[in-house]
Amino acid sequence: MNRLLTYPLFLLLIALPAVAGAADISLFALFKDKAILLVDGTRRVLTIGTESPEGVKLVSTDTQAEEAEVELKGKRETLRLGVVYSAFQGAANESVTLFADTKGFFHAQGSINGAAVTFLVDTGASTIAINSATAKRAGIDYAKGRAGTARTASGHTPMYSVQLDTVKVGDIVLRNVEAGVIVGPQPETPLLGMSFLNALEMRRDGNKMELTRRY
């Protein structure tokens, strides 16, 4: 389950929901109280509180976390440097479109029990897999789960099988999702495995992947 990932420091493509005007936004550079965005193909330099002609407002920046929060027609999204991501397409569709990064990996912004995470889509993982630090941040008492072992780059490591109350990716929310908590730092990026993906239709077209909830 171990993944060693190198993220580029540029290019975050994010398609905001259709109800927000379907603007394409790329986060190219980040400074204290300022960000450089590409909005529908046009370069915009925004300071906090200012709004582009397309209606994209810069709400906040965090150079340490390498992210910026923007607002478009009342809808807020967090843009991150180095992660390629397409936001959800609206609650009615319960779908999300992702774009592969330069390594060919697909990442998805989401949350576990309300705690924000960035997932790595991994169809080779039977369940969602997170490390113990992420579990603690999500308020999971994993020691009460079913004990086992996981094979990592460091060898065999203790693992606990648990049920997550909620897992959210875009507008797709699943409840009581099986997951494995691996004691230690691996995986550095939470793996979005088949315990979540089995409930979705997955369509891939080149570097584009669409996830849609099944009913």
| pLDDT band, residue 66 (cuts 50/70/90) | confident
3-state class (DSSP) for residue 136: helix
- State how far the Cα of 10 lies from the Cα of 33, in Å rounded to an integer: 18
**Domains, the chain, with CATH or none:** 7-83 (no CATH), 101-200 (2.40.70.10)
Token digits of residue 21? 């005007």
Give CA separation, 107 vs 22, 50, 60, 85, 139, in Å: 20, 29, 23, 6, 23
Q: Tell me: the pLDDT tens digits for 113-155?
A: 999 999 999 999 999 999 999 999 999 999 999 999 988 777 7
- For the chain, give the longest Cα–Cα distance: 55
pTM over 0.85: no
Phi, psi of 137 (to 5 degrees): -65, -30
